[in-house]
Structure 1
């Protein structure tokens, strides 16, 4: 198993780590931890000024994946164009579901959160926690869109805003 994983991710590859979003593999290194030799992916999350070390044999278990295909990005954009689906559950329950979707690393689930929490200017104000979840989902989405398209984040942000703006019109 570990051999196939290693071939899948190489230094300089962009990957998605569910709890942190898009990062770049800086290197693959060996470290001895508690007497065991472990091979680790060293992943840099530039924007968060964070480096993560993930054992190569655990990458699949933790849900680390390659960037989405351009086709998947198109599906995420189509999701954004859809009508917001807000359940009639208590906010605490919905917030928990949104949080799980954001941390799933699934681009479509993240797009659903952006779609459901997006407010156009003429709509009611968002609560602080709503805004926090919306911004977290939006950031994850735009970072992956940017990495897949090879554009910078501001261009990806513009792309996402255009789709959301068109929906509101």
Structure 2
């Protein structure tokens, strides 16, 4: 039997929209309800979670390869931009931010980080605002680290420095 060619191989880093960066551990076949299904087994180290995604559904669910260095550069541009905060009710905005975070789109996640970032001299964030900001920042940091040298601390510092420089320039 010929070996199938997949978009991802074991040890590849991938992005699953709802969970962020994970690593393909293996490709296995499981029998589910009498059908043979081939699955990507993806480990999310930080969350201590393993996800199985049918190989034929990976694209449909939005699973993708890590962002290119060009996309990371575009994200940095986005972070340097001016925060765009709509005047809509918080519940509506929170819903939009949540959708952006779970979209898996790195630029959209960078927009959330930029829009929710607060400088020390700005008003306090509400609990839910802080939660969304931290979730977006973590997703962004993990993917930046995976694209770069794998060091999340350095990636986080780079993002924070970029946000701070934007604030001090304003």
Same topology, TM > 0.5: yes
Could you list the runs of 5+ residues in structure 2 that have no partner in the other structure? none
Question: Match of 2:56?
Answer: 57
Question: Match of 1:74?
Answer: 73
Deviation string for 1:104-149 (max 9, x for gaps)? 0000000000000000100000000000000000000000000000
Query: Equivalences for 1:74-93 in 2 at 5 Å?
Result: 74-93=73-92
Question: Match of 1:20?
Answer: 19
- Following superposition, which runs of at least 4 residues in structure 1 exceed 2 angstroms of deviation? none
Give the Cα separation in 2 of the matches to 1:151 and 1:32.
Answer: 35
TM-fit CA distance, 1:151 = 3.1
TM-fit CA distance, 1:26 = 0.3
TM-fit CA distance, 1:150 = 2.0
Give the Cα separation in 1 of the matches to 2:110 and 2:126.
Answer: 20
TM-fit CA distance, 1:35 = 0.3
Instruction: Report the RMSD for the aligned CA atoms in angstroms.
Output: 0.8
Give the Cα separation in 2 of the matches to 1:122 and 1:137.
Answer: 22
SS of the counterpart of 1:32? strand
Give the Cα separation in 2 of the matches to 1:154 and 1:27.
Answer: 28
TM-fit CA distance, 1:89 = 0.2
TM-fit CA distance, 1:33 = 0.5
Give the Cα separation in 1 of the matches to 2:134 and 2:117.
Answer: 9
The two structures have a TM-score, normalised by structure 1, of: 0.96
Query: Which is richer in helix?
Result: 1
Give the Cα separation in 2 of the matches to 1:22 and 1:137.
Answer: 12
Question: Match of 1:32?
Answer: 31
The two structures have a TM-score, normalised by structure 2, of: 0.96
